[in-house]
A and B are shown apart, each in its own frame.
Chain A
Amino acid sequence: MTAPILELRDLDVFYGPIQALKKVSMHIVEGETVSLIGANGAGKSTLLMSIFGQPRAASGQIIYRGTDITRKSSHYIASNGIAQSPEGRRVFPDMTVEENLMMGTIPIGDKYADQDMQRMYELFPRLKERRNQRAMTMSGGEQQMLAIARALMSRPKLLLLDEPSLGLAPIVVKQIFATLRELAQTGMTIFLVEQNANHALKLSDRAYVMVNGQIRMTGTGQELLVNEEVRNAYLGGH
């Protein structure tokens, strides 16, 4: 087995007195698309943010490409090739689409900025139409595309996506997942957190199921799609 690009070992994370993650262990291999599914409040977003040290893990280890990054600063982690499209998109509301995209280039400088921006406009043609518009004036779907494109601008080795389907119309969700499939086929390593288990599992090589801050189950996307327990809990039980 090749060494994983990211590995979490027995991670414990607290929000004040509340334990959000309990002894979470998982790994992602380069080139894989891995998803983490689970209900609202299971700790999925906390897990993504704790990779960036916000909040810091109380115990356990986060190993990224052989280095322990558990105690590193957020900007160090970002500078070394992990990018995130976070929960709630968090695009910069007062910046234009183009400026938001430029913010993604901080870790690598603006050497490839023009070239990569063109690539983003091919991936998400809607962004090109809106390039000089401020992010706050755009729809939820467009903001989601912008958040993903901004993350891609740093040419990440590992892309973390937090609920890209949240609050979007089914047709937009379909578009976004089609784009993610394209990305995965180019060899991008993707770690996807989703409530929309159906879309996520179809896209993923492997997946983890999280319940109350613990990993309950793991398997390939196909295995989990047909798993009785998963179907009842996350796929509407049909």
Chain B
Amino acid sequence: MDGIFLQQLINGLTLGSVYGLIAIGYTMVYGIIGMINFAHGEVYMISAYLAAISLALLAYFGVESFPLLMLGTLLFTIVVTGVYGFTIERIAYKPLRNSTRLAPLISAIGISLILQNYAQISQGARQQGVPTLLEGAWRVEVGTGFVQLTYTKIFILIAAFAGMALLTYVIKYTKLGRMCRATQQDRKMASILGINTDRVISYVFVIGAVMAALAGVLITMNYGTFDFYAGFIIGIKAFTAAVLGGIGSLPGAMLGGIILGISESLFSGLINSDYKDVFSFSLLVLILIFRPQGLLGRPLVAKV
């Protein structure tokens, strides 16, 4: 085994963990109200801008230590993105709760266009960037070559997995998590038991936005650049990850993200990097043909 394979595996794991974070938003929203929130990629894009704004503000006020910068940026980005998630649901989806299934899908596309144009007008169409915050890397000799693990990547892996672990804990063991699961499994029964299901749906949108915000901060740290259109391709990739893992399944979204990230990285590193998107979407087509319920999803049984 040579260094390239291992290197691409690490790159893929990093990329995949971030896909997984965004895929969580797709899968939880689908699980609870049965719609694909096509504006979710744009929520991620907004969070990338917020991360940059926050970094600039903190730098302006003279904050220089990495932990403080990170903490401030995460806090600011997560809170504001959460507000975006909440507001989008209130404005675009809640009024359509009892209409046809297509209506919220159309308003999701509308929101997505609005957010893209809003970012373009307010922030400009040029690519934006942030400087590298965490310099340095870890190098390990492997055979004739070496594997390089930048500190940024290590940080991303830790933060992404911590985020996923925290969310898994919340969903599995807390009252909020039980309320989310109950609403997902039987919304009518949940309301009869005293759960304000509209509020739970709001919470789920906020959770999805918070995870996207974490992803936004992490990806911005890694690549340094983004533009108003950045949410589109990553959104579709994360959606692919959610379908791959089984849409509606939380562990499925995380697993799907990691598998997609790794296979995409291996493909681009070992075969051809120009066609990596083609490869990802071919994967989506194959899943939809051979295992439409995804890896951890359940086959859909028609309810009578």
CB-based contact A154/B193 at 8 Å: yes
A221 to B194 CA separation, bound complex (whole angstroms) = 32
B195 to chain A, nearest CB (A): 6
Q: Number of B residues contacting the other chain (C-beta, 8 Å)? A: 17
Is A43 on the interface with B (CB-CB < 8 A)? no
Chain B residues closer than 8 Å to A95, beta-carbon distance: 178, 181-182, 185
- Interface residue tally for chain A (C-beta within 8 Å): 24
B220 within 8 A of A: no
Q: Which of A34-86 contact B (CB under 8 A)?
A: 52, 54, 73-75, 78-79, 83-84, 86
From the candidates A90, A93, A99, A154, name the one contacting B194 in the complex (CB within 8 A): A154
User: Contact at A86–B185, with CB atoms within 8 Å?
Assistant: no
Which residues on the A side are within 8 Å of B185 (C-beta)?
A: 92-95
Query: In the complex, what distance in Å separates the CA atom of A142 from the CA atom of B196?
Result: 27
The reply to whether A150 and B188 contact each other, CB–CB distance below 8 Å, is: no
* Chain A nearest Cβ from B202, distance in angstroms: 14
Across-interface contacts of A104 in B (CB, < 8 A): 193
Query: What chain B residues lie within 8 Å of A90 (beta carbons)?
Result: 186, 188-189
Which of B175, B179, B195 sits near A110, CB closer than 8 Å?
A: B175
**Bound CA–CA A214/B229 (angstroms):** 61
A102 CB-CB contact with B under 8 Å? yes
In the complex, whether B14 has a CB less than 8 A from a CB of chain A is no
- Mask: chain B, 186-216; 1 = CB below 8 Å from A; 0 = not: 1011111111110000000000000000000
**Complex: how many Å from CA A93 to CA B303?**
14
The smallest C-beta distance from A74 to any residue of chain B, in angstroms, reads: 4
Asked if B181 contacts A75 (CB within 8 A), the reply is no
> Does A103 count as interface, using CB distance less than 8 angstroms?
yes
B188 adjacent to A92 (CB under 8 Å)? no
Interchain CB contact under 8 A, B194 and A86: no
0/1 string, B167-189, CB within 8 A of A gives 1: 00000000100110110011011
Let me know if B175 and A107 touch, CB within 8 A.
Answer: no
> Measured between alpha carbons, how far is A92 from B183 in the docked complex, in Å?
9
A106 at the interface (CB under 8 A from B): yes
Whether B191 pairs with A75 at a CB distance below 8 angstroms is yes
Looking at chain A's contact residues, the main secondary structure is loop
Q: 9 interchain pairs (CB within 8 A)?
A: A54-B191, A54-B192, A75-B197, A78-B194, A86-B192, A92-B181, A94-B181, A94-B185, A103-B190
Chain A residues whose C-beta falls within 8 Å of the C-beta of B189 in the assembled complex:
86, 90, 92
> Do B188 and A54 touch (CB < 8 A)?
yes
**Would you give the shortest CB distance from A131 to chain B, in whole angstroms?**
15
Which residues from A are CB-within-8-Å of B195? Answer: 75, 106
Beta-carbon contact of B194 and A106 below 8 Å: yes
Q: B193 near A103 (CB under 8 angstroms)?
A: yes
B178 touches A79 (CB 8 A): no
A84 to B194 alpha-carbon distance, docked (Å):
11
Question: Which residue from B175, B179, B182, B192 sits with its C-beta under 8 Å from A52?
Answer: B192
Q: Which of A179-232 contact B (CB under 8 A)?
A: none
Given the contacts A92-B186, A110-B175, A78 and B181 also touching, CB distance less than 8 Å: no
Our pick among A74, A92, A94, A102 for the contact of B192 (Cβ within 8 Å) is A74
User: How many angstroms from the CA of A84 to the CA of B193 in the assembled complex?
Assistant: 8
Q: Which residue of A lies closest to B172 (CB)?
A: A99
The 7 closest A-B pairs by CB, nearest first: A78-B194, A74-B191, A107-B194, A90-B189, A106-B194, A92-B185, A79-B194
B191 adjacent to A78 (CB under 8 Å): yes
Report the bound CA distance from A91 to B5 in whole Å: 48
CB distance from A87 to the nearest CB of B (A): 11
Residues in chain B near residue A99, CB distance under 8 A? 178, 181
Give Cα A75–Cα B201 distance, bound, in whole angstroms.
14
CB distance from B278 to the nearest CB of A (A): 37
Nearest-Cβ distance from residue B172 to partner chain A, whole angstroms: 10
